[in-house]
Structure 1
Amino acid sequence: MIPVRCFEGQKVAVFGLARSGLTAAKALEAGGAEVVVWDDKPAAREAAAKEGLTLEDLNTADWSEIAALMLSPGVPLTHPEPHWTVKKAKAEGVEILGDIELFARMVNAAPDHKRPKVVAITGTNGKSTTTALIGHILAAAGRDVRIGGNIGVGVLGLEDMHGGAVYVLEISSYQLDLTSSLKPDVAVLLNITPDHLDRHGGMEGYVAAKRRVLLNQGKGDTAVIGVDDPYCQRICTEITAANRRTIWPISAGRSMGRGVYAIAGVLYDATGDRVLEVADLHRARALTGRHNWQNASAAYAAARGLGLSVEDAATGLVTFPGLAHRMENIGQIGQVRFVNDSKATNADAARQAMSSYPRFYWIAGGRPKAGGIKDLDDLFPRVAKAYLIGEAAEDFASTLNGKAPYEISGDLMTATAAAFADARAAGGEAIVLLSPACASFDQFPDFEVRGDAFRDAVTALMRKPAKGAIA
């Protein structure tokens, strides 16, 4: 744990008692703050009490006594409407911040010999894979790496800092909205496509939130920025003109005069006097597809920005084992292979997996995002058949009508069984792909539980008599 000492002797309220809220409360207590916690959900309050935290109803609290509100990132800050705790805090002039900001203040306050390196990764898609990949590359090169933030362990739950440590942090747009003083040694902005627009008041607010990862960088810092979408391309052009830091543009589809890019699966480094062929990404089994080539380009650039050699960075790429729920091969029955891409919570993320297979049986649906799957229509010819689940089923059926065969399955277990039956009956090699293009919240608490349910459904099929079943 990283004790947060910047509020020592002061009262801090923590609202939202999921992973980041609970971890922040304990870190603040360890740093000497008087911490009170609250959540709208009784079950969350009960769990916090069992952890030994002090409950106080913030509806009736005296906010004049509170120095700061530590807000969990899932709680609305501005849109679609500020949460009631936000309104109370602002009315009393109480500072509102998140766990990443608490971490940033501890890093900024550390003496030089104890100050760690920080790599911050954000973007609409690919954050988790890139974060894990950077961590893997650094660990393989012998660095003391701590991976967390919006992936795995909450940032304040990581081991305490020292001068030789490297914190590799996935940071969401929600977390960035609550962060003002983070100054990463390497900031990675992968891509920006429309997402979470209801929480940011539209595209302008969403882009502004993502751009905050670059907010405090200066001389000596490194910015790694994807240039394959117009939003990031514009940001890269603007900060290049400012000329305050080292900038590594990255691309997954085109060569550049300067930067890191992948063409047809081969990674090139054009940041020096000559273009280096770094790695054949086809050798990296966990980095299939063009979207993963962008992740690989970003991870390589970030590692080089921290001083790793070309050889060490390249070695880490091809030995990366991959992440659960991101184009994860979870099993095979006969010639039918099952791919778990539950992390694809929007259409753009689903495009990445769908583009990687020439033909597949597609399980899609859940709680839809704005625009649904209309933007995927160029990939519908690849869909052997779609199996639609959750709240989006009827809308997705309307979009697919006349463009790809489909059936409304309702739930994931039914969809998995139907997709397997059809794929096996067709004969030959086949892919059953869970890539929902939707949030999970209609039927599952998060994408991880959804992915685990898919794994369970596949396991159940494997247990049935079937020739050539292999796990």
Structure 2
Amino acid sequence: MIKAETFKGQNIAVFGLGRTGVSAALSLQAGGAMVSAWDDRSAGRDEAAKAGVSIVDLTAADWDAFDALVLSPGVPDNLPKPHWSAERAKASNTPIICDIEIFAREVAARPEAARPKIVAITGTNGKSTTTSLIGHILKACGKDAQIGGNIGRGVLDLDRMHAGTYYVIELSSYQLERTQSLRANAAVFLNLSPDHLDRHGTLEDYGLAKQNIFANQTDADTVVIGVDDDYGTELCSMLKAKNGRRIVPISARRSLGHGVSVLDGTLHSNLGKRAMKVCDLRKAKTLEGLHNWQNAAAAFAAVQSLGLPDKAIGDAIQSFPGLAHRMETIGQVGKVRFVNDSKATNADAARQALASYDNIYWIAGGVEKEGGITPLLDLMPRVSKAYLVGKSAPKFSKVLKKASVNFKVSGQLDMAVMCAARDALQSDQPNPIVLLSPACASFDQFKDFERRGQAFRESVETLIRLFEAEKAKKANTESAA
């Protein structure tokens, strides 16, 4: 745990006792702050109390006594409607921050020579893969890399910092809009597409929240920015005009005169005196698709900016084991491969997987995001049949019917897996893929995308066991004959 000693002696309110809220409360308490923590859920309060968090009813508290409110990233302070705790904080002029801001102040309080290195990653899609890949590269190169933030462990739950630590932090727009002090040695901005607009209001405001990742950087720091979308291209040009830091554009679609790019599956670096080939990404089986090639380019650029050797980075990229729920191959039944892309909670994320395969038996649906699946209709020639689940199924069925796409309303995920597997096995297509890439949030049927992905895994593993048992039975029968 990182002790929040910069808040020693202060009175801090903490609302929202999920993963980040509990770690923030414990960090503040360990650093000497007086914590008053609360959650609207009694179960959340009970679990936090068991962990040692000081529980105080904030609905009856004197808010003028608080020096700050640490508000869970998922709790709104503005749109679509401010939470009551945010309203109370604003009425008493209490600053609203998050766990990332606490972490940033702890880093800034240390002498320059004793500070850890920070690699921060944001973007609409690809954050988790890029964050994990950077952490993997650093560890493979012998560094003490700690991975957390919006993925895995809360940032304050990471191991205590020292000068040789590399913190690799995934940052959501929710976290960045409440962070003022973070200085990233390497800041990665992957892409931007419409998402979370209920929280931010407009795409412009959503983008501005994410641009906070560049705040406080100096000319000793590096910006890594994806230029495969219009927003990234314009942002890169704007940052170059401002100067003041090293800017490295990355692309998986075109060659760059300066930057890191992927051409025909080969990662190229054009950052030194001459361009060089780094590695063949086609050998990295867990990094399929153009979007993952962009993630690899971003990871290379970020780690290279920290002074690590190109060849070692390239070797580490090829050994990356991949992430659960991100185009994760679960297994195979006969000729049919099953791919878990449950993390694809919007259309743009689902596009990455749909564009990477052919002969797809696509499982989609859940809680619809803005635009639904209409932006994906250009990829439907790759889809042999769609299987719709969850709340969005009736609306999605109308969209697919109008576009003359073969589909079935399955309702539940286990039924969709069974039907998709049957149809794929009975097809005469080569290498069919049963793909869970929902293009939706999971909250209608599952607590989160991880639970949805795990349910998919369990259904597929059941099918694999049945297939193997039937195969063994047939072999025994033939042997006896």
Asked if these proteins are the same fold (TM beyond 0.5), I'd say yes
Matched position secondary structure for 1:193: coil
Q: Which residue of 2 is the match for residue 403 of structure 1?
A: 404
In structure 2, C-alpha distance between the alignment counterparts of 1:462 and 1:274, rounded to whole Å: 50
1:310-362 C-alpha deviation (Å, 9 max, x unpaired): 11111111111100000000011111110000000000100100111111100
Q: Which residue of 2 is the match for residue 352 of structure 1?
A: 352
Q: Which residue of 1 is the match for residue 389 of structure 2?
A: 389
Q: Which residue of 1 is the match for residue 118 of structure 2?
A: 118
- C-alpha change, 1:143 and 1:465, in structure 2 (3 Å) is closer
Q: Which residue of 2 is the match for residue 460 of structure 1?
A: 462
- Is 2:189 the partner of 1:216? no
Contact 1:333 1:468 in 2 (8 A): no
In structure 2, C-alpha distance between the alignment counterparts of 1:425 and 1:435, rounded to whole Å: 22
Q: Which residue of 1 is the match for residue 416 of structure 2?
A: 415
In structure 1, C-alpha distance between the alignment counterparts of 2:246 and 2:150, rounded to whole Å: 26
Contact 1:381 1:403 in 2 (8 A): no
- Is 2:334 the partner of 1:306? no
- C-alpha change, 1:357 and 1:146, in structure 2 (3 Å) is same
- Is 2:325 the partner of 1:325? yes
| CA-based RMSD | 1.1
Residue 465 of structure 1 and its aligned partner are, at CA, apart by 4.5
In structure 2, C-alpha distance between the alignment counterparts of 1:125 and 1:141, rounded to whole Å: 26
In structure 1, C-alpha distance between the alignment counterparts of 2:414 and 2:280, rounded to whole Å: 38
1:208-247 counterparts in 2 under 5 A? 208-247=208-247
Q: How many corresponding residue pairs?
A: 469
Residue 264 of structure 1 and its aligned partner are, at CA, apart by 1.9
Q: Which residue of 1 is the match for residue 450 of structure 2?
A: 448
Matched position secondary structure for 1:299: helix
1:414-451 C-alpha deviation (Å, 9 max, x unpaired): 10011011111114532100000001111111111100
Q: Which residue of 2 is the match for residue 12 of structure 1?
A: 12
Q: Percent identity?
A: 56
**Which stretch of structure 1 is more off in the superposition, 51-60 or 442-451?**
51-60
1:270-315 C-alpha deviation (Å, 9 max, x unpaired): 1122211111100111111000010000000001111011111111
Contact 2:359 2:431 in 1 (8 A): no
Contact 2:393 2:411 in 1 (8 A): yes
Matched position secondary structure for 2:292: helix
Matched position secondary structure for 1:370: coil
Matched position secondary structure for 1:306: coil
Residue 215 of structure 1 and its aligned partner are, at CA, apart by 1.5
In structure 2, C-alpha distance between the alignment counterparts of 1:403 and 1:346, rounded to whole Å: 22
1:3-402 counterparts in 2 under 5 A? 3-401=3-401, 402=403
1:72-124 C-alpha deviation (Å, 9 max, x unpaired): 10101221122111111111111110000000000000123321000000000
Q: What amino acid does structure 2 have at the position aligned with 1:59?
A: T
Residue 381 of structure 1 and its aligned partner are, at CA, apart by 1.0
Of 439, 451, 460, which aligns to 1:437?
439
Contact 1:327 1:341 in 2 (8 A): yes
Residue 2 of structure 1 and its aligned partner are, at CA, apart by 0.1
Q: What amino acid does structure 1 have at the position aligned with 2:387?
A: Y
Matched position secondary structure for 2:446: coil
- Moved >3 Å (runs of 4+): 465-469
Contact 2:350 2:437 in 1 (8 A): yes
In structure 1, C-alpha distance between the alignment counterparts of 2:467 and 2:11, rounded to whole Å: 61
Residue 5 of structure 1 and its aligned partner are, at CA, apart by 1.0
1:380-432 C-alpha deviation (Å, 9 max, x unpaired): 11111100000110111111114310010001011001101111111453210
Q: What amino acid does structure 2 have at the position aligned with 1:227?
A: V
In structure 2, C-alpha distance between the alignment counterparts of 1:72 and 1:144, rounded to whole Å: 28
**Which stretch of structure 1 is more off in the superposition, 185-194 or 262-271?**
262-271
Matched position secondary structure for 1:375: helix
Q: What amino acid does structure 1 have at the position aligned with 2:301?
A: A
How high is the TM-score relative to the length of structure 2?
0.96
Contact 1:380 1:403 in 2 (8 A): no
In structure 2, C-alpha distance between the alignment counterparts of 1:190 and 1:240, rounded to whole Å: 16
Contact 1:113 1:162 in 2 (8 A): no
In structure 1, C-alpha distance between the alignment counterparts of 2:431 and 2:303, rounded to whole Å: 38
Residue 234 of structure 1 and its aligned partner are, at CA, apart by 1.2
Contact 1:341 1:433 in 2 (8 A): yes
Contact 1:115 1:163 in 2 (8 A): yes
How high is the TM-score relative to the length of structure 1?
0.98
Q: Which residue of 1 is the match for residue 476 of structure 2?
A: none
Matched position secondary structure for 1:458: helix
In structure 2, C-alpha distance between the alignment counterparts of 1:440 and 1:180, rounded to whole Å: 31
| Gapped regions of structure 2 (runs ≥ 5) | 473-481
In structure 2, C-alpha distance between the alignment counterparts of 1:238 and 1:299, rounded to whole Å: 22
In structure 2, C-alpha distance between the alignment counterparts of 1:17 and 1:124, rounded to whole Å: 25
**Which stretch of structure 1 is more off in the superposition, 80-89 or 51-60?**
51-60
